A = this chain, B = another copy of it.
Amino acid sequence: MKNCGDTLSKYQLIANEMRARINQGVYDESEPLPDEMTLCEEFQVSRMTMKKALEQLVLDGLVYRKRGHGTFIMKSNLQDGRLNLANRNLKGLTASVKNGKVESTVVCFEIVFADETIRHNLDLPEDSLVYKIIRARSINGEPYVVEYTYMPVTVIPGLNQAVLYDSIYTYIEQSLELTIGSARKIIRADKPNELDKKYLNCQDTDPVLEVEQVGYLHNGIAFEYSFSRHRFDKFEFTSFSVRR
C-alpha cells in the first residue's frame, strides 16, 4: 500500500469522501452521522479502518464524537462553507492563493554564514552556509507580505533567482523531490520596520503580523527558517485544536 504519490490508503479515501459529503450537505446536521458499523458495511472495511477515517475528521474539527451518542457535524464549521485549514497549511503563499496573481520582488538574495540564531533553529554546525532571501510579495498588485527566509545550502542546493520569482516550495517538492513534513510557527504583532513601510505601505501606527516559522522535511531535517511580515489588515492566522 503506497502512502504517497498517486495512491491513497483506504482510510484516507474514506475520510475525503466523508469530508465531501459533509460539506455538500449530504448528512443532516441535526442528526448523528450513520454509526460506525453501518459505515463499515457501506465502505466494506473493518471497524478500525472506519474509525481511523473518522478520527481524521475529528482532527480537522469537522465532527465530534460522543460515546453512547454518535458522531455529529460541528455546525459552525459549515457556516462560511469552508474548512479551517490554515494551521495545516505547510506550503507557501503560491499554493494558498487560488484566485489571484502572486508577484515577488527579490530584495535580497545572497549566501552568508549562519549566525547563532539561525544555526540554532536549523540545527546547523558552525561555519554553515545559508541562503538569505528577502522577498516582497503582492497579490493582484496589492502589497501583502515581506518574507525573510534562511535555508541551508546543503539541504536546498541549486536555488536561483528564477525560483525566487516563482515558488520555492514548488522547487523543493518537484525539482528536488523532497517532501515537506511539519512546521513550527510563532505568531506575534510588531511595529513596522523600514522595509514594511517601503513595501507594505505601512504608516507608523500600522502594525504588522509576523509569522516566524521553522519548516521540516519528512525526514526531520529543518530546511527553512523564515519570518513573514504581513499588513495587519490583510492577513489573519487561524488554528483549530482538539483536546487529546
Contacts and interface: CB of A to CB of B under 8 A. Distances in A.
Interface string A152-195: 00000000000000000000000000001111111111110000
A244 B55 CA distance: 12
B187 A237 contact: yes
Counted per complex, copies of this chain come to 2
The bracket for how many chain A residues form the interface is 35 or more
A47 to B, nearest CB: 13
B241 A90 contact: yes
Contacts of A89: 241
Contact of A185 (B181, B184, B222, B240): B240
Interface of A: 3, 48, 56, 59, 61, 64, 66-67, 69, 72, 74-76, 79, 84, 87-90, 120-121, 123, 180-191, 204-209, 214, 216, 218-220, 222, 230, 232, 235-244
